[in-house]
Each structure stands twice: as C-alpha cells, then as structure tokens.
Amino acid sequence: MNKTLKNKLFGLIGKFNESKILVVGDIILDEYLWGMANRKSPEAPVPILEVKRKTYLLGGAANVANNIAAMGAKAILMGVIGDDLYSGVIMDILKKNKIDTEFILKDKTRPTTVKTRLIAQNNKHLARVDNESLDPVAKDISKAIFANIEKVIDEVDLIVLSDYIISVLTPSLIKDIVKLANRHDKTVVMDPKGSDFSKYQGVDVLVPNMDEALIATKSSRTKPVKKIAEALRKIADKVIITRSANGVYYYDGADELYLESFSTEVVDATGAGGSFVAMLALALAGSDFNYEEAIELANYAAAAAVRKVGTFAIKPVQLKEIIEVAYNNANQQGASK
C-alpha cells in the first residue's frame, strides 16, 4: 500500500456519513451464555455449563446494518421478528445503535430468530442452539416488506440483501426487489447463502465466500477461482469471492483482481462476512470509488471482525488504525528488500 492509496481510503471513510443504505433480510439475535464447564452431566456424556453472564449481539442482516451505522452512515433495516421477549431485546439494541427500525415487521406466528452459543472458559464453544422458523414469511408479510421498500427506494443510495435462508428473502421478493432497483437505478449487493443461487438472478454484486461459491457451482476446490466466478456471472454482473486467508477475488467478465488478506489472528469468524459486505456497500454507495479500493476497505473491516468473539461493528477510527498498520507493514517490507 502506498501513501496515495492510504489517503484515498481515509477520504472514503470520511464520506461514509453522507450515505443511506437499505438492508433487507433475516434479522438474527446472537445470544451468548458465558460460564465455566468443570463438571460432566450424570444424565449424558456432556459438560455442565455454569452460566456466569449473558450477552447479546446483532446477527444476520442486523449485523450488516450495525456495521453500516457504526461507520456513521444511515442504515435502514427491513425484516421480520417475532412478538416475544427476544424481539424487545433486539429492538432495544438496534435503536441504541441508531439503526432505523421503522420498517421492521412483527409476526406473532413465528419466533424471533435467536442463535444461542454456550461458551466455556478460554472461549471454548460447547454448543449452539437455534430457535427459528424456516418457513417462508406469509405472503401478506412479504407484500408489506416490498411496499416499505417502495417507500424508501428513492432516498437510499444502495440496497443490501442479506440472506440466511431463514424466511424473509423468498425468490419472488428478491425478483421484485431487483426489478424495482433497476427501475430506480439502485445497486443491489447480495450476501448469499445456500446451494441455489438462481433466485439471486439480476443482482449487481454477488458476494459469496469460497465454500458458498463451491456449493452453488457444484465445484471442487481444485477448480480455478476464475472458472467459478465465470459460472456465477450468469447470476450477477460482478462477483466478489472472499477466500479467508487466500484473500479476495473479483471478476466482472473483463477485469479480475486478486487481493491478499490482511494477516491477523482469527479468534472467531462469526459475522466477518457481514462486516465485509457492509464495508463494501458503504464504499460502493459513494461516487468517488473503484472496486479495488472498495474491496480493500472491506478486507480490513473483515480482519477486524475476526479478532473478536461474535459479530463486531468496526468504527471509523478503528478502521483507520488497521489501514495505518497495513501501510506501515508494507513500507517496512519494501525497505527490507
């Protein structure tokens, strides 16, 4: 990294507060039960966790919105929660973090999606318990979500669809959103999941991780990444594949980019994909960018996220610190050659 690029990235970060981004998808509450596991259960060959504390973090589409808001931008979140105790918990966190919750819908027929992780000493994960409904949302709920999108489409700079194949982003809703976005000249960034990517047809930017890309294209790990991206370009104009320690690959049919990962200690990869997508969306929402710079920023945000247990929303000062470290490391390596 040279000084010109560092200053350009700093400039992009400084303009994030001018952006307004719509995030639509599966809203998840991550619950953490922290404790000590020093005994075995007499009822089954499993440890007993003595819970000492409980914490909550935002997951899924809520994590993406949280990362956007933490950078100073306006994040509008749309999705569905239940009418239960956990819905109150997640709404309190969203409002505290200055995320627009006006269009979040409550559905009394389904629970708020909660993923509970049991964690013992030394951050050892013992188990995860998921409380959710995988049934697609009712048609009237889906119609209400789309009607709300129509209300705000002209005021947002970009749309992120965050799919955790739980319930919200049905194929028909995605199709309607893509058509609406095209009519209003809005970029759609897709954070995909599952094996069937055909439902994402027409999105502008598709951002799977390597495992997701392999599953969706029925490919082996020996297949060249460009061939995988070419297959995914039948779905989206631009494909960005995150590859953990192997960095990030970008392909748009003409240009391709290989960006190295930022070397860092991996504590927990939970939510890193959401952090990457959020930062990418912020960069693409601005007018003064190119894809290499946008991916570079997203890479640094993901590097910060994996250093923490659970999802993590990086702030501007923290992102600048990571960029400064990368800049200094690059200069030291250059001087030693």
CATH number of domain containing 7: 3.40.1190.20
Compute the Cα dihedral for 6, 162, 307, 263 and give only its sign.
Answer: negative
| Range of weakest confidence among 18-27, 63-72, 313-322 | 313-322
What's the rounded mean pLDDT across residues 37-48? 95
DSSP 217: H
Q: How many CA atoms lie within 13 A of 87 on its CB side?
A: 17
Vertex 276, ends 117 and 14: CA angle to 5°?
125
pLDDT band at 325 (very low <50, low <70, confident <90, very high): confident
Give the pLDDT mean for 136-151.
Answer: 97
35 domain residue, yes or no: no
Residues 210/245, Cβ–Cβ less than 8 Å: no
Predicted local confidence at residue 57, as pLDDT: 95
pLDDT at site 5: 84
Residue 181 lies in a domain: yes
Element (H, E) at 47: strand 47-60
| Beta partners for residue 256, in sequence order | 251
45 assigned to some structural domain: no
Structure tokens given for 16: 């994030």
Q: Which residues pair with 100 in a beta bridge?
A: 76
Helix (H) or strand (E) holding 75: strand 74-78
Answer yes or no: is 198 within a domain.
yes
CB 141 within 8 A of CB 80: yes
Give yes or no for a contact between 119 and 52, defined as CB atoms under 8 angstroms apart. no
The predicted-structure confidence for 162-197, as pLDDT tens digits, reads as follows 999 999 999 999 999 999 999 999 999 999 999 999
Q: Would residue 54 count as lying in a domain? A: no
Residue 232 in any domain: the answer is yes
> 328 versus 160: which is more confidently predicted?
160
Q: Are 297 and 319 in contact (CB under 8 A)?
A: yes
The residues with which 88 forms a beta bridge, in sequence order, are none
| Domain extent for 103 | 3-28+59-112+133-336
Cα angle 225, 226, 229; round to 5:
90
Domains identified in the chain, total number: 1
pLDDT class of 327 with cuts at 50, 70, 90: confident
Phi/psi of residue 38, nearest 5 degrees: -115, 0
Residue 210 contacts residue 243 (beta carbons within 8 Å)? yes
Q: What is the pLDDT of residues 204-261, one digit of tens each?
A: 999 999 999 999 999 999 999 999 999 999 999 999 999 887 889 999 999 999 988 7
Quick one: DSSP state of residue 209? Answer: B
294 in Cβ contact with 280 (< 8 Å): yes
Question: Is there a domain that residue 125 lies in?
Answer: no
Count CB neighbours of 36 within 10 A. 13
Banded model confidence at residue 19, pLDDT cuts 50, 70, 90: very high
Segment 67-81, tens digit of pLDDT: 999 999 999 999 999
pLDDT at 332 over 90: no
CA–CA separation, 319 and 297 (whole Å): 8
Asked, for residue 259, whether it belongs to a domain, the answer is: yes
Q: Which long-range contacts (CB under 8 A, 24 or more apart) does 222-229 make?
A: 225/249, 226/251, 226/256, 229/256
pLDDT at 321 over 90: no
Q: Cα-atom radius of gyration of the chain, to the nearest Å?
A: 20
pLDDT for residue 270 is more than 70 = no
* Neighbouring residues of 87: CB distance < 8 A, sequence distance ≥ 6: 81, 106, 112
With 60 as the cut, is the pLDDT of residue 271 above it? Answer: no
Q: Both tokens of residue 28?
A: 């998840």
In order, the DSSP letters of 249-280 are EEE-SS-EEEEPPPP---S--TTHHHHHHHHH
| Interior/surface letters 12-23, b for 16+ CB within 10 angstroms, e for the rest | bbebbeebbbbb
Length of the chain counted residue by residue: 337
